[in-house]
């Protein structure tokens, strides 16, 4: 089984860039591959409850639907701890299937050869 990281740095400021990594991760997860969506910078807001509900880029499915599908298909949502902390985001703010991770977790994945897609 392959493992892939899809990286998102945007939230409501750019619905297309916020949605695309979740689409990639969902395709991987539905193909029985291990999928991780890595959220950094303003993308960490996507891991918080209700934030993605109104994000929709024309021609793409609503982000909340794709995000729910990623999690339902076994994908993981990782929010960068260095990015969540200054925004006041804690574990209690997160959606089901999301967790806050450290830079060491990201480095370990990349060092092990996990490919990363940046949308």
Q: Concatenate the DSSP letters of all residues of 54-82 into one string.
A: G---TTS--HHHHHHHHHHTT-EEEEEHH
- What average pLDDT does the segment 22-46 reach? 97
Domains in the chain, number: 1
pTM: 0.95
Would the pLDDT of 1 be above 90?
no
Using alpha carbons, list the distances in angstroms from residue 38 to 4, 12, 33, 34, 59: 10, 16, 16, 13, 23
Domain that holds residue 39: 3-118
Cβ contact 64:23 at 8 Å? no
Instruction: Identify the CATH number of the domain in which residue 43 sits.
Output: 3.40.1260.10
Would the pLDDT of 86 be above 80?
yes
Would the pLDDT of 108 be above 90?
yes
Q: In this predicted structure, what is the pLDDT of residue 44?
A: 98
Would the pLDDT of 119 be above 80?
no
pLDDT band at 109 (very low <50, low <70, confident <90, very high): very high
Residue of 50, 40, 29, 36 lying closest to 94 (CA atoms)? 50
């Amino acid at each position: 089984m392959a493992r892939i990281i899809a990286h998102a740095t945007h939230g409501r400021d750019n619905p297309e860039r916020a949605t695309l990594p979740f689409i990639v991760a969902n395709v991987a997860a539905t193909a029985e591959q291990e999928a991780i969506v890595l959220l950094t910078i303003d993308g960490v807001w996507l891991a918080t409850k209700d934030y993605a509900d109104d994000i929709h880029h024309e021609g793409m499915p609503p982000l909340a639907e794709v995000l729910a599908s990623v999690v339902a298909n076994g994908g993981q949502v990782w929010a960068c701890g260095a990015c969540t902390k200054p925004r006041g985001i804690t574990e209690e703010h997160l959606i089901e299937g999301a967790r806050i991770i450290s830079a060491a977790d990201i480095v370990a994945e990349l060092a092990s050869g996990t490919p990363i897609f940046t949308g």
